[in-house]
């Protein structure tokens, strides 16, 4: 492993924010850290860039000047124009011969160079933030939820920036709440409550679901046995033993199913406080 977190545990007081979490960051690869609000994604990324000191485990990263980091909120000055934001990044990183014009083209904001950061749409702001983090050609790019709340067009463009950086040799770590974005990475780490639920490529995670997953139409309702949840109008069921309840049709789990199964399995393991997805 070139860079990344290796068995990292972070405690804030008595609360365990991360428990034995490993997140690799390899050159020319995109690692996607997936989880809901409070899963520990930000702590993970902040540990990686050195803003949080882990209590246990090892963190390796390139020197500070070779890292580009975009926090979940902010990352740009709303009262400076697009060009002024980039100019500030250039001078504060001390980049020689940085091509602000080329970066404007790359992030698709050439037509908005004189607009104030705060007046841009959410998607444009995120693209500008990523542009600021890329201006010095970092070896490690760390993006905290760049696509949250961003509309689909900007989301596609943001992922093109990510892929482009990786294709150019940068190691990229991206946090997201959208499970389907795990497919965008060469590797995904599913986080919940500070623990790793599953990791590997999206295909590996889907293929590694223990037991069996089945489906049933909405009007047939649920029956005892297994853990049930909704998928569209119908039902999905997971049986850890592999024996599906009567009247269900086995399906090959996709990444979405796998993420839910992983969370259910973890909840069983720790005796989670809710009654599970099944509803009587």
CB of 73 to other proteins, least distance (A): 13
**Structure tokens belonging to residue 145:** 């939820």
CB of 35 to other proteins, least distance (A): 6
Is 279 one of the binding residues for other proteins (CB under 8 A)?
yes
CB of 130 to other proteins, least distance (A): 14
Per CB under 8 A, which of residues 58..87 are in contact with other proteins?
77, 79-80, 84
Binding mask 121-160 for other proteins (x = CB under 8 A): xxxx-----------------------xx-xxxx-xx-xx
Quickly tell me which residue has 């709340």 as its tokens.
Answer: 149
Long-range contacts of 242-247 (CB under 8 A, 24+ apart): 242/211, 242/212, 243/212, 244/212, 244/214, 245/214, 247/216, 247/220, 247/223
CB of 51 to other proteins, least distance (A): 20
Binding mask 88-127 for other proteins (x = CB under 8 A): x--xx---------------x-------x----xxxx---
CA 184, CA 168: separation in Å to the nearest integer? 16
Pairing relation of β-strands 234-239 and 171-176?
unpaired
CA 214, CA 207: separation in Å to the nearest integer? 14
Is 167 one of the binding residues for other proteins (CB under 8 A)?
yes
**Structure tokens belonging to residue 83:** 């060009």
Binding mask 204-223 for other proteins (x = CB under 8 A): --------------x-----
CA 230, CA 218: separation in Å to the nearest integer? 9
Query: Binding other proteins by CB under 8 A: which of 98, 173, 202, 244?
Result: 202
Query: 31 phi and psi, to 5 degrees?
Result: -100, 125
Residues 123/158, Cβ–Cβ less than 8 Å: yes
Which residues contact other proteins (rule: CB under 8 A)?
Answer: 28, 30, 35-39, 77, 79-80, 84, 88, 91-92, 108, 116, 121-124, 148-149, 151-154, 156-157, 159-160, 163-164, 166-169, 177-180, 183-187, 192, 201-203, 218, 229-233, 256, 259-260, 263-264, 267, 273-275, 277, 279
């Amino acid at each position: 492993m070139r860079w990344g977190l290796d068995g990292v545990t972070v405690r804030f007081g008595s609360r365990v924010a991360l428990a034995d979490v490993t997140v690799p960051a390899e050159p020319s690869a995109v690692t996607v850290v997936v989880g809901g609000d409070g899963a520990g994604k930000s702590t993970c990324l902040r540990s990686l860039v050195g803003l949080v000191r882990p209590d246990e485990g090892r963190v390796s990263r390139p020197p500070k000047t070779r890292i580009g980091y975009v926090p979940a909120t902010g990352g740009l000055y709303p009262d400076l124009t697009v060009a002024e934001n980039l100019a500030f990044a250039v001078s504060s990183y001390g980049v020689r011969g940085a091509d602000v014009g080329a970066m404007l083209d790359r992030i698709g904001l050439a037509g908005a160079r004189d607009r104030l950061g705060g007046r841009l749409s959410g998607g444009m702001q995120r693209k500008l933030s990523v542009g600021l983090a890329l201006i010095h050609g970092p070896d490690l790019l760390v993006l905290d939820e760049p696509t949250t709340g961003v509309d689909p067009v900007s989301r596609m463009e943001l992922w093109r920036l990510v892929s482009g950086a990786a294709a150019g040799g940068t190691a990229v770590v991206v946090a997201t709440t959208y499970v389907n974005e795990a497919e965008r990475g060469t590797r995904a780490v599913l986080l919940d409550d500070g623990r790793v639920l599953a990791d590997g490529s999206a295909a590996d995670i889907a293929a590694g679901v223990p037991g069996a997953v089945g489906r049933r139409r909405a009007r047939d309702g649920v029956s005892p046995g297994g853990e049930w949840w909704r998928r569209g109008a119908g039902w999905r069921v997971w049986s850890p033993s592999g024996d599906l309840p009567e009247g269900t049709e086995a399906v090959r789990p996709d990444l979405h199913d796998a993420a839910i199964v992983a969370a259910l399995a973890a909840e069983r393991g720790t005796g989670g406080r809710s009654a599970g997805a099944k509803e009587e």
